[in-house]
């Protein structure tokens, strides 16, 4: 039950994919999610290729199940990372912040499925020509770099725009979000924020606790020129806001934001680090093993589907 097209495409048991979060989504989390029947993803971020290879090998040592690597197209190492992925025959690649089109033929040759992340139907339509196997449509509720369309509005439009399965992301916490996404035509869901609070996630405890403490209005969008990043409000976002109000130049804003994700996720400085998290942070109340998160999502979804009997 609840085996969808994306499960068949990727060879996974449940239609639950873990977001490929830079500095946060390491082998330990990816392997735990894949072991539990979802699709775990290693977030390559700006990491050099040898680190990504190490994470891939660690994941393979932990589990035989399919897993993926998220390639961040603004990384200086994109070409080398793609080569590592090809050499290691990684089953799935998700991509962010750019067009993976030119790499798709090489990746397909070794059997890697390519799933670009998009934040608009326009972008999905453009990227579809290059032969993507599926899409992840990220609504503006999600954490990190976001577009400006909500998940509710985005999903149906991406589903209409492309002829391949769509995975919904942004604002998804549990079975309710999964069922809603399926109703909108999606084939599965991607969760980032809730998986940061997985027991196996190597993000700093302070980062996890900041998410657990957050309420529904505790995230804010920072950014300029149409590039927005959703983070938890803290001293950094206040300083950022006052710079914006003083009319500081873009370079100064950029300097303040540089490297701040690592400061939060690795060093645990949640006052002056960039604590990227989605609006769903308000729903995350505890640290749980990844397998328990997935089981909870699936049992809640099944319960809703069984109970929902509309008279027509």
Between 87 and 116, how does the x/- string for binding to ligand TUI read (CB under 6 A)? ---------xxxx-----------------
Give least dist CB 214 to ligand TUI, A: 17
Between 139 and 178, how does the x/- string for binding to ligand TUI read (CB under 6 A)? -----xx-x-------------------------------
Instruction: Give, as ranges, the residues between 227 and 266 that touch ligand TUI (CB under 6 A).
Output: 261
The Cα 163–Cα 128 span in angstroms is: 8
Give least dist CB 277 to ligand TUI, A: 11
Tell me which stretch binds ligand TUI (CB under 6 A): 60-68, 138-146, 201-209, 295-303.
Answer: 138-146
Nearer to ligand TUI among residue 118 and residue 189 (C-beta): 118
Nearer to ligand TUI among residue 261 and residue 270 (C-beta): 261
The Cα 166–Cα 289 span in angstroms is: 26
Nearer to ligand TUI among residue 38 and residue 96 (C-beta): 96
Give least dist CB 122 to ligand TUI, A: 10
Give least dist CB 56 to ligand TUI, A: 17
Nearer to ligand TUI among residue 7 and residue 118 (C-beta): 118
Instruction: Give, as ranges, the residues between 29 and 48 that touch ligand TUI (CB under 6 A).
Output: 45-46
- Residue 138 in the binding site for ligand TUI (CB under 6 A): yes
The Cα 148–Cα 177 span in angstroms is: 19
Give least dist CB 74 to ligand TUI, A: 7
Residues that bind ligand TUI (CB under 6 A): 22, 45-46, 72, 96-99, 117-119, 123, 138, 144-145, 147, 261, 276
């Amino acid at each position: 039950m609840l085996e969808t097209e994306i499960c068949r495409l990727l060879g996974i048991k449940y239609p639950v994919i873990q977001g490929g979060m830079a500095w946060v989504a390491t082998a330990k989390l990816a392997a735990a999610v894949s072991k539990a029947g979802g699709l775990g993803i290693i977030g390559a971020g700006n990491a050099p290729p040898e680190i990504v290879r190490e994470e891939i090998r660690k994941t393979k040592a932990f589990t035989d199940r399919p897993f993926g690597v998220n390639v961040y197209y603004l990384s200086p190492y994109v070409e080398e990372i793609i080569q590592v992925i090809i050499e290691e025959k990684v089953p799935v690649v998700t991509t962010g912040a750019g067009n993976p089109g030119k790499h798709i033929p090489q990746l397909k040759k070794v059997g890697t499925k390519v799933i670009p992340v998009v934040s608009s139907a326009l972008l999905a339509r453009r990227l579809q020509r290059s032969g993507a196997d599926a899409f992840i449509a990220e609504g503006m509720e999600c954490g990190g770099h976001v577009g400006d369309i909500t998940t509710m509005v985005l999903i149906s439009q991406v589903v209409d725009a492309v002829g391949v399965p769509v995975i919904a992301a942004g604002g998804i916490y549990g079975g309710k979000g999964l069922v809603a996404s399926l109703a909108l035509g999606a084939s599965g869901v991607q969760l980032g924020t809730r998986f940061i609070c997985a027991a196996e996630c190597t993000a700093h405890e302070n980062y996890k606790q900041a998410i657990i403490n957050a309420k529904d209005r505790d995230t804010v969008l920072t950014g300029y020129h149409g590039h927005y990043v959703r983070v938890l409000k803290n001293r950094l976002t206040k300083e950022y806001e006052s710079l914006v109000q003083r009319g500081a130049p873009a370079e100064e804003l950029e300097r303040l934001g540089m490297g701040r994700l690592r400061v939060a996720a690795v060093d645990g400085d949640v006052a002056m680090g960039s604590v990227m998290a989605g609006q769903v942070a308000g729903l995350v109340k505890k640290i749980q093993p990844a397998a328990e998160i997935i089981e909870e999502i699936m049992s809640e979804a099944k319960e809703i589907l069984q109970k929902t009997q509309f008279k027509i």
